[in-house]
Chain A
């Protein structure tokens, strides 16, 4: 096991109280696994991504543990996390377009970061050039300023930069959201390539684009309102989901080859619950057509068949 997250709770502190963005999240990530992390906006997927590398000032670790390659990840202790960052856990942020310092040449910024992390830039210079070529960039980009690159180019630079030290875990947070479809595909393929070449051991790919994650990920984990709803292999989630939320989420997606004659696409009625005072029990119960009295207790995440986990009383 590369990553083992156990009952992780991370709350946002606000003036009106704690927002329970991650409320008891448990999952494993195997070596070489690319896990797609899907869900609506505000379901906690970005919070989970951040919790694995760096809590921002409003986030508070309330409980639970994270283990990476058998070692504890002290997420609540910002200082103790520093040695792990970049070397073991790395991040491709949501805002890759603006992640580069606008007034530094890209090569110089990378060198300064490497030196600050105790790596001699010369030792890694050849590898850096090779990887830039691998993602289809001319190594000459190192002599340019970020403004001289297109959005897709910056995205690829950040991808190479983030994975340069061969981290064990890579968190890719909505990396394709700001790109056009053809670039999305190229980025997704490069990430798979990085895994295949063992530049990264395993990857959490945060997205709300299920069709994209279906093509590249090994497994998909679906979250809803701070809870894990279902985790299974990508094909199982898309073709045979068991949790009512996942089922409705998948059926809300258009399929290639269908037309509107075969009926309008249905959304999921209602909105997710607020997480300031979250409801007890299953958080989907208010929107769930199958809800019954038992749903006021929180359903545990259980393995309903090998490698397929779901949290619902009806699937157990």
Chain B
């Protein structure tokens, strides 16, 4: 068991290093000069002053050193928890900016992923029972899962937000409020959360339901199901076994889907102008803010890696077959 976890940890560490390296490379090889674009907004007319400011900022951000030194300095800073200083919100540290956004993204992602997975699995398992249910759940599921995140987000924003006018369509909380621990603020948080959450939840739901329905039907045809039926076991017992066994591929599916779900979350955030990482990425891109972009990607990478690692562990716990392979079961 520990050897398995050790091996997995090593693989994840390797992935992390590669991801960080790529992450560091991408913004640096993007066209455009961030310092120049920042200065152009300041609209300094005097070329000499412009040159001096350019030199100053280049020094501040460390762009004057050779690339490999920048790379090493980046790792050094990373290990100290220093992700640099933002260009667009100078002189705020990148870490602070990101930590402000992370709770919003997590509050959106975690419930959307987990709830859609649980509810989708339930619906799928239920659909596998009856022909009538199956004939409704399946097409609806296909339609939902084929929907692009931002399209459903727009549709929801338009119908519930603008036409019905029941829910706010933009921001993380009402612009008239300041973050504080009060009932008013929290209720504003919740109403702003519902629409982005719903759009992610609904899209993910369909895929899980279809997957579960197919798996359950497959499991109900499996040999052990037939055997139990021949021995007169009630369908409740057989379905319970089938559900549990059908769950295993769904857990793997969750691990595979995490990346997609995440990008869906980023798009959804942008549509709803929700102050999470997605919106932050968009702003950073528009302002050519390397450091924020880099830091956000880093958080995304770390998040996906952690989630995958957790799923690896969960899989071992629920499937005796992987467990046995690791502990070397007796023949």
Interface residues of A (CB under 8 A from B): 53-54, 56, 81-87, 90-91, 93, 95, 98-105, 112-113, 116-117, 144-145, 147-148, 150, 158, 162
Q: Are B320 and A103 in contact (CB under 8 A)?
A: yes
- List, in ascending order, chain B residues with CB within 8 A of A105's CB: 320
What are some 17 contacts across the A-B interface (CB < 8 A)? A54-B230, A85-B231, A90-B231, A93-B223, A93-B230, A95-B223, A99-B223, A99-B227, A100-B224, A101-B224, A102-B245, A103-B241, A113-B231, A145-B320, A145-B329, A147-B320, A162-B231
Set A98, A104, A144, A147: member contacting B222, Cβ < 8 A: A98
Task: Report the separation of the CA atoms of residues A167 and B237 in the bound assembly, to the nearest whole angstrom.
Answer: 22
- List, in ascending order, chain B residues with CB within 8 A of A144's CB: 329-330
Task: Report the separation of the CA atoms of residues A100 and B324 in the bound assembly, to the nearest whole angstrom.
Answer: 16
- List, in ascending order, chain B residues with CB within 8 A of A102's CB: 224, 245, 320-321
Which A-chain residue is minimally distant from B329 (CB atoms)?
A148
Interface centre among A86, A95, A101 (most CB of B within 10 A): A101
**Smallest beta-carbon distance A104→chain B, Å:** 7
Task: Report the separation of the CA atoms of residues A117 and B244 in the bound assembly, to the nearest whole angstrom.
Answer: 21
- List, in ascending order, chain B residues with CB within 8 A of A86's CB: 231-232
Task: Report the separation of the CA atoms of residues A100 and B233 in the bound assembly, to the nearest whole angstrom.
Answer: 13
**Smallest beta-carbon distance A253→chain B, Å:** 30
Q: Are A101 and B231 in contact (CB under 8 A)?
A: no
Task: Report the separation of the CA atoms of residues A35 and B237 in the bound assembly, to the nearest whole angstrom.
Answer: 33
Task: Report the separation of the CA atoms of residues A158 and B231 in the bound assembly, to the nearest whole angstrom.
Answer: 12
Interface residues of B (CB under 8 A from A): 222-224, 226-234, 236-237, 241, 244-245, 248, 318-321, 324, 329-331
- List, in ascending order, chain A residues with CB within 8 A of B237's CB: 112-113, 116
Q: Are B231 and A147 in contact (CB under 8 A)?
A: no
Known: A95-B223, A101-B245. A147 touches B321 (CB 8 A): yes
- List, in ascending order, chain B residues with CB within 8 A of A150's CB: 331
- List, in ascending order, chain A residues with CB within 8 A of B320's CB: 102-103, 105, 145, 147
Task: Report the separation of the CA atoms of residues A101 and B222 in the bound assembly, to the nearest whole angstrom.
Answer: 9
Q: Are B230 and A53 in contact (CB under 8 A)?
A: yes
**Smallest beta-carbon distance B102→chain A, Å:** 36
Task: Report the separation of the CA atoms of residues A53 and B226 in the bound assembly, to the nearest whole angstrom.
Answer: 12
Which A-chain residue is minimally distant from B327 (CB atoms)?
A148
Interface centre among A85, A103, A112 (most CB of B within 10 A): A103
Which A-chain residue is minimally distant from B248 (CB atoms)?
A103
Q: Are A99 and B224 in contact (CB under 8 A)?
A: yes
- List, in ascending order, chain B residues with CB within 8 A of A85's CB: 230-232
Task: Report the separation of the CA atoms of residues A131 and B254 in the bound assembly, to the nearest whole angstrom.
Answer: 43
Interface centre among A93, A99, A150 (most CB of B within 10 A): A99
**Smallest beta-carbon distance B319→chain A, Å:** 6
**Smallest beta-carbon distance B241→chain A, Å:** 5
Task: Report the separation of the CA atoms of residues A90 and B331 in the bound assembly, to the nearest whole angstrom.
Answer: 28
**Smallest beta-carbon distance B196→chain A, Å:** 36
Which B-chain residue is minimally distant from A104 (CB atoms)?
B241
Task: Report the separation of the CA atoms of residues A152 and B232 in the bound assembly, to the nearest whole angstrom.
Answer: 25
Which A-chain residue is minimally distant from B241 (CB atoms)?
A101
Q: Are A117 and B231 in contact (CB under 8 A)?
A: yes
**Smallest beta-carbon distance B222→chain A, Å:** 7
